[in-house]
Amino acid sequence: MDALLVLEDGTVFRGRSFGATGERTGEVVFNTGMTGYQEILTDPSYRGQMVVMTYPHIGNTGVNDQDPESVGPHVRGLIVRDMSPRESSWRARQTLDRYLRDHEIMALTDVDTRALTRHTRNYGAMRGVISTTDLHPDSLRQKALAAPTTSDEDLVAQVTCPEPYEWTEPVDEAWREPGGEAQVVEGKARPHVVAYDCGLKRNILRQLVSSGCRVTVVPAHIPAADVLALHPDGVFLSNGPGDPQNVPYTVESVRALLGRVPVFGICLGHQILALALGGRIYKLKFGHHGSNHPVKDVRTAKIAITAQNHNFAVDMGSLEDEAELTHINLYDSTVEGMRCRHLPAFSVQYHPEAAPGPHDASPLFQDFVKLMTGG
């Protein structure tokens, strides 16, 4: 079935529909990963967005029961160059097309994704609409312009868990990095981590468990007093979608927790920590989405290849008295990590849980354990 993608600036891309039919709006971003489309689809951080995959051939390994990072897909649309109609993997349970139809997610194939990526890189991420029902570019452009931006909605409220729960599943042994076993001292209690769910990915929780932690997950709106009542040894701030300035309730809770308990933040959690410290956040031109971003540890000069998925960044100049820079992005020199000067708290902008992505940064979870245990 013919379909159109029209951006808010009027640029038109033609393709064929797969997945669900109808019409969807969202912010169009591109992801440079060669693999991991199932994890990308189910990453809550993509709420409100339509993802363009720069790797041309998508869907060839189908969809399985092991790789989802949440209960289901969160993207508003998927745009690819060439969708494979058949799956070829011993783990596959269904095709990508069927999976998207079952979850009512629209997708386009036969799109010139190279031109679309270049356009986004040159002019910035913008709203778009994909449609199989309205094939009039002028009409679709007006719908794109009327759609909310990711700063207009509290997207975290749409993806956070409804109530607290315990998580006990570790990383699958087949995927564990050699030497990555938890260093648990016999007879010593496992450190208790309370994880704020702003759009948590499951592999973050698995990594915490495999690092020797006992994990309780709480909704993003839980106040600090309720978290402290759980007697945590540390608090984790998760990834999540949208503008961190739209979750002042979480920022306020983190501000009240700082100095009371060690804190570790990833992605949106990194930005929330910066806001809690009084820092500033700004939106990137087209964001970082992919599994091949080089990050430099400014303390050791070591380079890690990292997975990333974010549209906002921390202004380190607004935090000079509160935090020090620990990591920078080698593509654009944006802030990738910081550590508080006077408090037991640190954060990174990238994703050390590697789902999908490299394992270079996985030792950060053990760093958090050491911060909690004094190791």
Task: Report cis status (omega within 30 of 0) of the bond before 85.
Answer: no
290 phi-psi bin (left φ>0, alpha ψ -120 to 50, beta other): left
Q: Which residues have a catalytic role annotated?
A: 267, 351, 353
Q: Which amino acid is at 368?
A: F
Residue whose token pair is 């891309």: 13
The first and second tokens of residue 134, run together, are: 């309205």
Contacts for 113 with CB less than 8 Å, ≥ 6 apart = 30, 52, 53, 54, 56, 79, 80, 81
Do 113 and 80 form a contact (C-beta atoms < 8 A)? yes
Cα–chain center distance at 242: 10
d(CA 239, CA 306): 15
263 three-class SS? strand
